[in-house]
A and B are shown apart, each in its own frame.
Chain A
Amino acid sequence: MSARETAANILIVALLTAIPLAAIVLDEPFYLTLATRIVILALAATGLNIALGLGGLVSFGHAAFFGLGGYVAGILASHALNMEPLVFGLPATQSMPVIALVAIAVAALVALPIGAISLRTSGVYFIMITLAFAQMIYYFAVSWPAYGGEDGLPMALRNAFPLVNTAKPLPFFLVCLAVLAAALVLFRLIRGSRFGAALQVGRQNPTRLAAVGISPFGIRLAAFVISAMVAALAGVLFANLNRFASPSMLSWQMSGELIVLIVLGGKDRLLGPLAGAMLYVFFEYTLGGLTERWQFFLGLILLGVMLFARGGLLGILAGRTRHG
């Protein structure tokens, strides 16, 4: 990492910590809600970035895992609240760590077959087959009446976290921040590991990988599944933030937004998804308050960044990387 990128990263982190401080000093608790949203979206995009940034796997269907996480949180909590056991008489729970583990496991179980089938394809076909799987899950959620269908699933309370009052904005923000930090550490560990190296070689030069006797399929599948697990974790937190899980978390627009976050912040960067989420939420919030035509201007800004600021926000701040 160049000195300039380090400086840029410090700036991003400083900005992120400034938001909760501002919230407390200015007595604007809503800033904390915004910061929490940024952190959760950054977490989902960091998850996607494991597949997309490291492995070059442009998944247009990660909303599926994000939404699955949300539904796991909503379904387990609503069963626990109504004292109804789950399938096979398993007990439901309100505990966030347990719910997170279940969400991660469910995401892995779903991502495994989806990844195995999708990875038979590449390029645009991969983009589109991941989209197709996400659409299947989306339509299933919309039309399955048990958990609200299109109306979504409201949660009466946030899930409980040991020793932390998640109903309060600041503790909940800190929980999300801790999870994001852990995910970023995971991302760095993967990037620096032999597995990560193989993944990146597989993206840039698959034949070289084959030459050393490694099959790209297994590595990519592992990256895809890990990436789905992180996205599901973000989904759990997002449903908790809104106290609501809905099919729109599974929609193709959501998948698109996750990609937008990464590209906006700067792909191939550790903090790219975080920078992208900050920028996106900032625009959405300020433009939405200024004009009802905010989507028009949001589009213009995104397009401008895309055309004239290659490498995203971190590209501007930290200069080009070797990949451009």
Chain B
Amino acid sequence: MKRILAGGLLGLSLSAAAHAEPVKIGVITTLSGGGAGLGIDMRDAFALAIKQSGNKEIELVVEDDAQKPELAVQIADKMIQSDKVDLLTGIIWSNLAMAVVPNAVAQDVIYLSPNAGPSALAGAGCNANYFNVAYQNDNFHEAMGQYANQDYKKTFILAPNYPAGKDSLTGFKRYYKGELAGELYTQVGQTDYAAEIAQIRASGADSVFFFLPGGMGIAFMKQYAQSGVGIPVLGPGFSFSQDVLPAIGDAALGVKNSASWAKDIDNEANKAFVEAFVAEYKRLPSIYAAQSWDTANLILSALGKASVKDKEAFRAALKSADFKSVRGDFTFNTNNHPIQNIYVREVVKEGDTLTNKIIATAFEKHGDAYAEQCKM
């Protein structure tokens, strides 16, 4: 019945056809366990953007991956084979993206990444069906390396001992020109950093760069502040995002961090986004919410131009990135990864609330180091 109705509408007006077409979007994200906060921000922003668009023909299928790669693969299979979704999105973590994306895009399903950007999918492993609306994993770290050149000559760097951690330090070193006071790999999931902080103190460093996502970063920042080691800290925005700042507390004040977004970026789309998100969910949005909002709006813009059933045309519509990004200028590189500004932010207090304020632009219209290897 619904389909007949939609068909009737299609006949009535050609220009409205693209809007009236039923579209199913599969959202695989993390809604349980320790990393649930990120997935919930992602899902909430996405759902809000779709709701605001007023497009009633879009159906969201949301499922929790519990941060397990195997489960994410199973859900992706279900969404592709059983729900027959037109588009997939939602994954927060690189290792889950590596499990799901190559298989999904090989089945000619379009996947839009609202967060993870592993290097393996940006270079030789790129794919016409894979669009990264967030960043390539190295980007924020590169920005911090670039920014560190201004003030620092001897940085101590540390990250977890896994691929994203190695990408992070590689990204930092790609732009950092000073000397390293030390380079340390910590255990994945480690919660006590006393041993590492003692080494930082003893290293004679003039600054510390760290990449420790999730609870690891919270633990590190608290312990670092408590230890009284006064060396300035630098980090990618993940550890100072709105979802974790309240848990770190004042220990985060004044820390410089890099990101493609902050709530004070001055443009119409961003103002509207922050206002709408706060009104709907009574909390400030995180960068995951911002990226997810952009992903939804990119999809909406493409739906206005082409039918999702016509893959070729729809991919072209996505690639033109003809939407108002909350990050300002946003275009796709040859490998379908963003070209965007990366900012340096500082953690400040607005009333009682910790949040970020942009203080500098590390890169303008920055792509990634892997685009050349992408043959598409």
Contacts and interface: CB of A to CB of B under 8 A. Distances in A.
Given A244-B69, A248-B69, A295-B32, A150 B162 contact: yes
Per DSSP, are chain A's interface residues mostly helix, strand or loop, or mixed?
helix
B345 to A, nearest CB: 27
B81 A149 contact: no
A30 B78 contact: yes
A84 interface: no
A28 B98 CA distance: 26
Contact of B162 (A31, A143, A244, A284): A143
A288 interface: yes
Contact of A30 (B62, B69, B82, B163): B82
Interface string A221-241: 000000000000000001000
Contact of A152 (B63, B69, B75, B81): B69
Contacts of B187: 139
Contacts of A149: 161-163, 166
B3 to A, nearest CB: 17
Interface string B150-163: 00000000000111
Nearest to B74: A37
Given A142-B162, A292-B31, A152 B95 contact: yes
Per DSSP, are chain B's interface residues mostly helix, strand or loop, or mixed?
helix
A34 B71 CA distance: 11
Contacts of B99: 152, 154, 242, 244, 246
A68 to B, nearest CB: 16
The bracket for how many chain A residues form the interface is 20 to 34
A154 B98 contact: yes
A194 interface: no
B5 interface: no
A151 B94 CA distance: 7
B32 A293 contact: yes
B28 to A, nearest CB: 11
A243 B78 contact: no
A154 B187 CA distance: 23
A148 B167 CA distance: 12
A304 to B, nearest CB: 20
Given A150-B162, A154-B99, A288-B64, A33 B70 contact: no
Interface in A183-212: none
A30 B75 CA distance: 10
A178 B62 CA distance: 35
B68 interface: yes
B118 to A, nearest CB: 6
A33 B78 contact: yes
Nearest to A154: B102
Contacts of A292: 31-32, 62, 64
B38 to A, nearest CB: 14
Contacts of A151: 94-95, 98, 118, 120, 162-164
A284 B120 CA distance: 30
Interface in A264-321: 284-285, 288-289, 292-295
Interface string B49-74: 00000000000001110101111011
Given A156-B102, A292-B31, A294-B64, A246 B74 contact: no
A33 B70 CA distance: 12
B95 A243 contact: no
A118 B69 CA distance: 30
Given A148-B98, A242-B73, A292-B62, 10 more contacts: A145-B166, A150-B162, A154-B99, A154-B103, A156-B106, A242-B69, A246-B70, A246-B95, A289-B63, A295-B33
